[in-house]
Amino acid sequence: MAIGPDVGGPDLDEIRKCVHCGICLPQCPTYRVLGEEMDSPRGRIYLMRAAAEGRVGLTETFRRHIDLCLGCRACETACPSGVRFGTLLEATRAQLRRGGPPARRRLLEAFVFSVFPKPARLGAALAAFKLYNRSGLRAVVRASGVLRRFPGLAAMEALLDDVPAAVPLPEVVPARGRVAGHVGLLTGCVQRHLYPHVNRQTAHLLSLAGFEVVIPRGQGCCGALELHAGRPEAHAARARTLAAAFPADLDFIVTNAAGCGAAMKEYGHRIPELTAFATRVRDVTEVLAGADLRLGPLDLAVTYHDACHLVHGQRVRLEPRQLLGRIPGLRLVELGDSELCCGSAGVYNLLEPDMARELLDAKLARIAESGARVVAAANPGCLLQIAWGCRERGLDVAIVHPVELLARAADAYQD
């Protein structure tokens, strides 16, 4: 099912695959919180079908049930009929987008989509935040209570603790030892600015595993945020530009951000000429799981949170656990409800902060129950969201990307 500028709504044949069995209901985060049929995948599909058949209009009530969906795709993992709910959701949001965003979100959405998918603008905004944070102005603004009038802005401000210094990466990182292949590395938008060490460590690990790593300086956004928000034209433009930034002879394009990887692996479904590019996209854990990577000991108890677009979008579940399990001395503690969304979901936590907070509270309760002092998650949005929750609750827990632990273990082996 292609989504393009001529989108007229979700595909009715895809909608009809749903047999309304309800297996998806307990897997849906919003249904678990609200208990409302229309806030479940089955209920949303019912609404989509009713709209496609002309039985209901695209009303504000319809929009609200669609807006509340996180797009986590847990329903796809559960669905015995193979319904591509994420694709249906994207098409429905594109259809709703024709009328513009609701008034309550118009300004916030305008800021988010004019800044977040543009790395240079995002970098400038984060530099301004760093000044705001370190000048003492942040304490004054918080004490004034003015942020309570703007929930989305308050959520954005609370998520950020500080902004690290920029760490430029070379355009090529040579392989160590025998060359196993040549790969490209996506630096991302949020990842490059808020977790630059994760990109650096990803390149380091790939190099140790025998891969020459190409890091194009001109690469931009993958378009995932716009895709999930029902902006297919913007998504397609960014996808084509990003694909053109990488050499055609690379074995893989490696990502370390779950949302980016899921969108890029599905480029071919929406933009046929990018099919070959999409087939070469791999999460870093997929590449490293099959590599000869020497790891030293780490005496840590670690639990692993499944980022939605890694486990449900990319169906990568075992590889991160296998890699962490290869670190001598590391004790991997299973996390209850590991596959339940933490509430980040791209920019969902900014646009729907109340629901996002409900889901974060549930995630924090499971983390506390695990007894682990380290949480690993393979997506920058999850890292931000869970770290904020732990700071607020006073949980003494470190939140890290799996490659951070693997890089420490690799360095421990070399020491």
- Complete edge-to-edge strand list for the sheet that includes strand 374-377: 330-333, 300-305, 374-377, 398-400
Task: With beta carbons less than 8 A apart as the criterion, state whether 160 and 122 touch.
Answer: no
Look at residue 1 and tell me whether its pLDDT is greater than 50.
no
User: What value does the mean pLDDT take over residues 182-196?
Assistant: 96
CB atoms within 10 A of CB 57: 10
Q: How confident is the model at residue 107 (pLDDT cuts 50, 70, 90)?
A: confident
Question: What is the predicted pLDDT for the residue at 415?
Answer: 58
To the nearest whole percent, how much of the chain has pLDDT over 90? 87
User: Per CATH, which fold does 300-414 belong to?
Assistant: Rossmann fold (3.40.50)
Determine the Cα–Cα distance for residues 30 and 358; give it in Å rounded to an integer: 9
Determine the Cα–Cα distance for residues 265 and 272; give it in Å rounded to an integer: 12
Task: Spell out the residues 6+ positions from residue 411 whose beta carbon is closer than 8 angstroms to its own.
Answer: 296
User: What value does the mean pLDDT take over residues 157-161?
Assistant: 91
The CA-atom distances, in angstroms, between 38 and each of 90, 104, 118, 127, 295 are 17, 21, 34, 41, 48
User: What value does the mean pLDDT take over residues 66-73?
Assistant: 97
**Token pair belonging to 169:** 């990466």
User: What value does the mean pLDDT take over residues 347-359?
Assistant: 95
Burial class of 120 by CB neighbour count within 10 A (0 to 12, 13 to 18, 19+): exposed
Q: How confident is the model at residue 414 (pLDDT cuts 50, 70, 90)?
A: confident
CATH code, 12-97: 1.10.1060.10
Mean pLDDT of the chain: 94
pTM of the model: 0.94
Q: How confident is the model at residue 4 (pLDDT cuts 50, 70, 90)?
A: very low
Look at residue 2 and tell me whether its pLDDT is greater than 50.
no
Look at residue 3 and tell me whether its pLDDT is greater than 60.
no
- Complete edge-to-edge strand list for the sheet that includes strand 181-185: 172-173, 211-214, 181-185, 252-255, 281-283
